[in-house]
Amino acid sequence: MSEPDEFDDLVTYLARTSRLNRPEAARLVDEVLSFLDERPQEFVCRRHRLLQGEGLPNGEIFARLAAELRRWRFRAPAYTERQIRRMIYG
């Protein structure tokens, strides 16, 4: 899923600082990015189904999801050019 150029720095860094060679580092990056390729809504629904299947009540599930959402890494939502400009220049 990743485009190699976008994560070239990371692949170079991993190849330099671990026992991985460059193709292995590229694959590792790709695997991790695939694993994290979820939007918050998709994540919440998936985890809710899973925890519900374990028999947890909604009150407990929601508290756990709130904590997990603070820690998890997500792809950013789509931004318009106007929004990007405002991020930079306020």
Partner 1 sequence: MCGIVGYIGKRDAAPILMEGLHRLEYRGYDSAGIAVVDRAGGLRLAKCKGRVRELEKLLPQRLRGSAGIAHTRWATHGEPSDRNAHPHCDAGSRIAVIHNGIIENASALRARLEAAGVCFRSDTDTEILAHLIAAMPEAALDAAVRAALRMVTGTYGLAVLDAARPDAIVVARNGSPVVLGIGEREMFLASDPAALVRHTRNVVYLDDGEMALVRADGFETSTLDGGATVKTPSTISWTNEAFDKGDFPHFMKKEIAEQPEAVRRTLSGRLELRFQTTHLGGIELAAHELLEIRRIKILGCGSAYIAGCVGAHLIEQLARVPAHAEPASEFRYRNPVVERDTLYIAVSQSGETFDTLAAVQEIKRKGGRVLGIVNVVGSTIGRECGRGIYLHAGPEVAVVSTKTFTCTSVAFALFAIQLGRIRDLSTAHGGRLLDALAALPEQIERIIAREAEIVRLAEKFIGGEHVFFVGRSAGHAVAMEGALKLKEVSYLHAEACSAAELKHGPLALITPETPTIVVLPRDDLFHKNVSTIEEIRARQGPVFVVTHPGEPPAGVEGAFDVPTSEPELDPLLLNIPLQLLAYHVALQRSCDIDKPRNLAKSVTVE
Q: Choose between 19 and 82: whose C-beta lies nearer to partner 1.
A: 19
Interface pattern 15-54 for partner 1 (x via CB under 8 A): -xxxx-----------------------------------
Part in contact with partner 1 (CB under 8 A); list of ranges 12-20, 27-35, 50-58, 71-79: 12-20
Q: What is the DSSP string of 30-61?
A: HHHHHHT---HHHHHHHHHHHHHHTT--HHHH
User: Taking CB under 8 A as the rule, does residue 71 contact partner 1?
Assistant: no
Q: Which residues bind partner 1 (CB under 8 A)?
A: 9, 13, 16-19
